[in-house]
Amino acid sequence: MNITVQKEDLTSIPCDVLIVNRFQDQKELAGATKIIDDVLEGLLSNAVKEDGFAGTRGSTLMLRTQGQIGAKRVLLVGLGKEEDFCEEVVRSVSASALGALSSMKLKHVVSILHGAGNGGLSPRQSAKAIVEGVTLGTYTFSTYKKAKGNVPQQFTLVCKTARSAKAADQGRERGALFAEGTILARDLVNTPAQDMTPAHLVDVAKGIAKGKKNLKVKVLDKEKLQKMGAGGILGVSQGSDQDPYLIHLTYTPAKPSKKKIFLVGKAVTFDTGGLSLKPSKGMETMKCDMAGSAAVLGVFSVIADLAPDVEVHGVLGAVENAISAKAIRPGDIISVLNKKTVEVLNTDAEGRLTLADTLAYSAKQKPTVIIDMATLTGACVVALGEEITALMSNSDEWADNVLEASNAAGEKMWRMPLEQNYAKLMESKIADYRNISTSRYGGSITAGLFLQPFVGDTPWVHLDIAGPAFAERPLNTYTKHGGSGHAVRTLLTLIK
């Protein structure tokens, strides 16, 4: 689908479908929709009345025109209640509108900028949200099966003035980058573990940096990890035939910056649970256990084009958590990168062992902030459900920064406390820490508390994305089944 912005008269632009809108329970049609209704001599307003089209969010009503305007059809889409309107509604209804058209083979679909008139959004915000909604909403994972459903060849955002067209085009460009990064993350998560190995993640990282002067990739192999003492990554991977890697990506802005953001992603390419084996149902979706690293790679895939003015690092500890006679055993004690020892009582709590190394590695390089993304605990999904990420932080300021960005990006996050009283539940009698809590409660928080010592005093935000990283049912109209690319757009918003 080719997406462009055009300054054109709404009534004359030729197309298969023109998408217009109305708020729920709005008395009169308004703005661009009213202009079209007037030329069509009340076709829309009459249909709204006669068909009882209330305009609830994402509802649609298709009408054929009779040559009075350039468009062959008009699709009226409901924006929901005016008081609830925001960018996320625009993403959502834009995807709904294209969903309503998916049974038709269309060449050219045109949309007005939802909410840029009376909805309080700028043309730039509206265009960005529409592009994200239609691009992500029509995404399919087609590596192993040909995609069904139709996507229009051309999608045009129509603007009244040259000035609004210019602003909308900037929004279009930004939205396209945000969607591209998200889609890369979705593809990586959806790729089965037979192909998505730690070595493949290395290739993906190298592919992203190839030919880009401001991107660098450093790869530490098993031998280097042994020399460094990265016992977490090595311990988890020792039962697998796949070699582990630590992948370190760096983006350097054109103008040197003192600010350094470190993004750390859990990169377990498959989680069997290890000897503390998962039941088969729980293992079905465990190719998603590298979704944190997919988010980091999604960010890096568009960062050079986005050109933020801060230095950004991505650190991934790529491993497979498999079983064999060589696998780490419950009761084994490992020594991680900061020389602390961990009694591994459950080999299924493996993400935190790899993160102990990658967080300690990152903290050594004196970042401004570390943000980690990890499909870390089932307990998080029990607490917040499938749509919401748990955020934990040692810094109120950075917690708020990330929450604000997530709100703008339409990715739901909720802060949970790093309750220090629970830290004693992670103490071992014979090592510095144990890798699981002595209590069965509060598992998401105790996992966060396990990670905390490895960042030291560095401002840090931990995102447990176990719920939304992989959608077992659609999360919203533009996030269907499978890898969601969750956190990519929050991170891009924050970085920019």
- Cα 324 to the center of its chain, rounded Å: 33
| Interaction between residue 190 and ligand BES (CB under 6 A) | no
Query: Which does residue 443 bind out of ligand BES, Zn ion, none, counting CB within 5 to 8 angstroms by kind?
Result: ligand BES
Whose Cβ is closer to ligand BES: residue 334's or residue 369's? 334
Parallel/antiparallel/unpaired status of strands 413-415 and 389-393: parallel
Decide if residue 442 touches ligand BES (CB under 6 A).
no
**329 tagged catalytic:** no
Residue 466 makes contact with ligand BES by CB under 6 A: yes
State the residue number with the nearest CB to ligand BES.
378
Per-residue contact flags (x/-) with ligand BES for residues 117 to 156, judged by CB under 6 A = ----------------------------------------
Count of residues touching ligand BES (by CB under 6 A)? 16
Among 378, 387, 432, 453, binds ligand BES (CB under 6 A): 378
Does position 464 interact with Zn ion (CB under 5 A)? The reply is no
Q: For the chain, first and last CA: distance in Å?
A: 26
Segment contacting Zn ion (CB under 5 A): 37-45, 85-93, 192-200, 346-354? 346-354
Q: CB under 5 to 8 A by kind: which of Zn ion, ligand BES, none does 378 bind? A: ligand BES
By CB under 6 A, which span of 84-92, 104-112, 304-312, 349-357 interacts with ligand BES?
349-357
Is residue 379 a contact residue for ligand BES (CB under 6 A)? yes
- On the 0-12 / 13-18 / 19+ scale of CB atoms within 10 A, 489 is buried
Q: How many CB atoms lie within 10 A of CB 132?
A: 28
- For residue 218, report the phi and psi dihedrals to the nearest 5 degrees: -115, 135
The reply to whether 31 sits near Zn ion by the rule CB under 5 A is no
The DSSP string of 32-84 is HHHHHHHHTTTHHHHHHHHHT----TT-EEEEE--SSSSEEEEEEEE---GGG
The one catalytic residue in 81, 260, 278, 415 is 278
C-beta of 179 vs 381, nearer to ligand BES = 381
Contact call for residue 330 and ligand BES (CB under 6 A): no
Q: Which is nearer to Zn ion, 209 or 436 (CB)?
A: 436
> In the annotation, is 278 catalytic?
yes
Spell out the residues 6+ positions from residue 205 whose beta carbon is closer than 8 angstroms to its own: 217, 219, 247, 249, 297, 300, 314, 316
Where does this chain touch ligand BES (CB under 6 A) — which range of 110-118, 183-191, 322-330, 371-379? 371-379
The string of DSSP letters for 376-390 reads --HHHHHHH-SS-EE
| Residue 159 beta carbon to ligand BES: minimum distance, rounded to whole angstroms | 43
Q: Tell me if 350 contacts ligand BES by CB under 6 A.
A: yes
- Within 261-320, which residues bind Zn ion (CB under 5 A)? 268, 271, 289
Phi, psi (rounded to 5 degrees) for 455: -95, -10
Catalytic residue, chosen from 352, 434, 480, 489, is 352
Which amino acid is it at 162?
A
Q: How far is CA 129 from CA 125, 136, 210, 389, in A?
A: 6, 10, 30, 21
As beta bridge partners, residue 55 has: none
**Dist CA 384 CA 297 (whole Å):** 26
Q: What is the DSSP letter of 6?
A: E
Residue from 37, 88, 348, 357 touching Zn ion (CB under 5 A): that is 348
Does 37 interact with ligand BES (rule: CB under 6 A)?
no
Looking at 271, 343, 372, 411, which residue binds ligand BES (CB under 6 A)? 271
Among the listed residues 140, 170, 335, 346, the single contact to ligand BES using CB under 6 A: 346
- Give the C-alpha separation, 78 to 357, whole Å: 49
């970042």: which residue's tokens? 367
Q: Which stretch binds ligand BES (CB under 6 A): 66-74, 244-252, 377-385, 474-482?
A: 377-385
Torsion of CA 438, 443, 448, 452, to 10 degrees: -10
Binding mask of the shown chain, residues 349 to 378, with x at each position contacting Zn ion by CB under 5 A: -xx---------------------------
Least Å from the CB of residue 340 to ligand BES: 19
> How far lies 350's CA from each of 327, 355, 364, 447, 455, in Å?
12, 9, 22, 11, 18
Helical H runs in 307-410? Answer: 351-363, 378-384, 396-409
Site residues (vs Zn ion, CB under 5 A): 268, 271, 289, 348, 350-351
Would you please indicate which residues are annotated as catalytic (active-site) residues?
A: 278, 352
Tell me which residues touch ligand BES (CB under 6 A): 271, 289, 346, 348-351, 375-379, 381, 436, 443, 466
